[in-house]
């Protein structure tokens, strides 16, 4: 058994080396999906970009997640509509669908377009999913309602199928984006932690560290709450039971099977909710035990666990991303706060913040305004994976 992420354990080529003389136009802090997509977009627009990552490319949540490539946001469609309005919600969903197409064009074999299955565990969740299904259909989005599920899914009363979603090898995707960024001139410094904005020498700095405390965000620091998620990958098994991403209990459980037969399963942080609000990237027996029992109950026998790992994501009180200028800090930008739903959103927000830096802000940025975290009104933390 290894304590490394199954995704990060995949062998990979070294990054192409690009070197810049002098100060960059923009420094990007964080080598995950957000930082890499932002750096790539800025360099493609002709800017000189340097990217810093404390560990290795994809070493944070981007190489430690469940691998789901989902459209939309962390909150269900009707909940998001309550918080940012029907028009902005529809715009956000359309935008994530379009960005998923862009991501697919760059991902190659790091993405499979399988669709995803959001499962109801009881009648209450069934009603919530049905409400979401109806809201999606009214707004013109593709979605399918499923009942009478078979085999290991027969315990679930209903499910909502999202046909355009997919499943990633996320570390492969992000390494690919980083290589592409280096090819267009981004100078990438792995194993380099930025200790202050000033030390980058750049007039514009984008902090793309999501749940990992960067120490660079002043008053905003900690308001994107570091939250731990844990995952297991089993031994390969013969039968293919869960070919597409499955998630239930409001996203607290998520699992799917790799083409090699391994089951990747994550979640269950609600078995120890308080201890999982942390940036300490370790696995714990209580959550790991719950994951093992969950897999056993769905497969009908215990499986050997070959990989166990943890990662940190950034949770925000309203489940809306945090993208834009950092209030009161000239030249400092942030993109993060995806509340556990950040692979498509991170790719999209990296490009969104790049466009804003280039002087072309999107109207969605009004909803993503970082300053709202400083005066949040009525905060609520509903469940999410
Ligand atoms: C267990 C788990 C499961 C998840 N499952 C899914 C899923 O299936 N689908 C989905 O869409 N989302 C999922 N998420 C969320 C998703 O992984 C994240 O939202 C996304 O990866 C965030 O990407 P990012 O680039 O913004 O941040 P990260 O990938 O976390 O990268 C931030 C990087 O910043 C670096 N850093 C921090 N401070 C500094 C500094 N001062 N200097 C230099 N570098 C610094 C860190 O080392 C880190 O590598 C999951 C998250 C976790 C933890």
pLDDT tens for 37-61 read: 999 999 999 999 999 999 999 999 9
Asked whether residue 255 is assigned to any structural domain, the reply reads no
Determine if ligand 1 sits within 6 Å of the CB of residue 129: no
- Domain span at residue 354 reads 1-9+19-113+165-224+316-371
Cα of 340 vs centre of ligand 1, distance in Å, is 9
Among candidate residues 197, 179, 187, 200, the one with its CA nearest the CA of residue 48: 187
pLDDT tens digits, one per residue of 247-289: 999 889 999 999 999 999 999 999 998 899 999 999 999 999 9
Query: Which protein residue's CA is at the shortest distance from atom 35 of ligand 1?
Result: 30
Rounded to whole angstroms, how far apart are CA atoms 25 and 377? Answer: 36
Confidence label for 377 from pLDDT (cuts 50, 70 and 90) = low
Tally of domains in the chain: 1
Among candidate residues 2, 139, 152, 131, the one with its CA nearest the CA of residue 71: 139
Determine if ligand 1 sits within 6 Å of the CB of residue 210: yes
What count of Cα atoms within 13 Å lies in the side-chain half-sphere of residue 105?
A: 6
Asked whether residue 214 is assigned to any structural domain, the reply reads yes
Asked whether residue 120 is assigned to any structural domain, the reply reads no
Among candidate residues 232, 241, 103, the one with its CA nearest the CA of residue 167: 103
pTM score: 0.97
Asked whether residue 325 is assigned to any structural domain, the reply reads yes
Asked whether residue 244 is assigned to any structural domain, the reply reads no
Asked whether residue 108 is assigned to any structural domain, the reply reads yes
Determine if ligand 1 sits within 6 Å of the CB of residue 30: yes
Cα torsion 151, 155, 158, 164: sign: negative
Query: Which protein residue's CA is at the shortest distance from atom 22 of ligand 1?
Result: 342
Asked whether residue 200 is assigned to any structural domain, the reply reads yes
Determine if ligand 1 sits within 6 Å of the CB of residue 200: no
Asked whether residue 338 is assigned to any structural domain, the reply reads yes
Confidence label for 375 from pLDDT (cuts 50, 70 and 90) = confident
CATH code assigned at 365:
3.50.50.60
Rounded to whole angstroms, how far apart are CA atoms 308 and 134? Answer: 38
DSSP state of 326: P
Secondary structure element (H or E) that encloses residue 295, with its range: helix 285-299
The whole-number pLDDT of residue 20 equals: 93
Determine if ligand 1 sits within 6 Å of the CB of residue 125: no
Return the best residue to mutate from 29, 30, 220, 242 for the ligand 1 pocket (most ligand atoms within 8 A of CB). Answer: 30
């Amino acid at each position: 058994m290894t304590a490394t992420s199954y995704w990060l354990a995949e062998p990979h080529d070294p990054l192409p080396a690009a070197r810049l003389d002098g100060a960059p136009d923009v420094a990007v802090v964080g080598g995950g999906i957000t930082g890499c997509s932002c750096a790539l977009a800025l360099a493609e627009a002709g800017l000189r970009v340097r990217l810093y990552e404390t560990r290795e490319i994809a070493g944070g949540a981007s190489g430690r997640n469940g691998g789901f490539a989902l459209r939309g946001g962390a909150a269900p469609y009707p909940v998001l509509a309550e918080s940012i309005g029907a028009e902005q919600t529809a715009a956000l969903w359309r935008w994530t669908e379009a960005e998923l197409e862009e991501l697919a064009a760059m991902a190659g074999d790091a993405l499979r377009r399988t669709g995803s299955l959001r499962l109801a565990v009881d009648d209450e969740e069934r009603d919530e999913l049905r409400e979401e299904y109806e809201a999606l259909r009214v707004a013109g989005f593709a979605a399918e309602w499923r009942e009478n599920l078979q085999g290991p899914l027969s315990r679930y009363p209903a499910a909502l199928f999202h046909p355009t979603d997919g499943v990633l090898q996320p570390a492969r995707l992000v390494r690919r984006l980083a290589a592409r960024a280096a090819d267009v001139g981004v100078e990438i410094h792995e194993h380099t932690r930025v200790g202050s904005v000033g030390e980058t020498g750049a007039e514009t700095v984008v902090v793309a560290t999501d749940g990992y405390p960067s120490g660079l965000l002043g008053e905003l620091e900690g308001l994107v709450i570091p939250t731990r998620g844990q995952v297991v990958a089993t031994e390969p098994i013969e039968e293919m039971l869960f070919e597409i991403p499955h998630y239930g209990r409001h996203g607290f459980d998520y699992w799917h099977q790799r083409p090699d037969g391994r089951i990747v399963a994550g979640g269950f942080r609600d078995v120890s909710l308080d201890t999982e609000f942390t940036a300490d990237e370790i696995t714990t027996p209580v959550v790991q035990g719950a994951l093992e029992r969950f897999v056993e109950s769905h497969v009908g026998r215990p499986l050997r666990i070959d990989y166990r790992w943890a990662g940190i994501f950034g949770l925000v009180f309203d489940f809306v991303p945090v993208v834009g200028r950092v209030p009161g800090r000239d030249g400092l930008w942030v993109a993060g706060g995806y509340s556990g739903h950040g692979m498509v959103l991170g790719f999209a927000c990296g490009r969104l913040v790049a466009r804003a830096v280039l002087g072309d802000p999107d109207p969605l940025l009004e909803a993503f305004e970082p300053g709202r975290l400083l005066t949040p009104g009525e905060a609520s933390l509903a469940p999410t994976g």
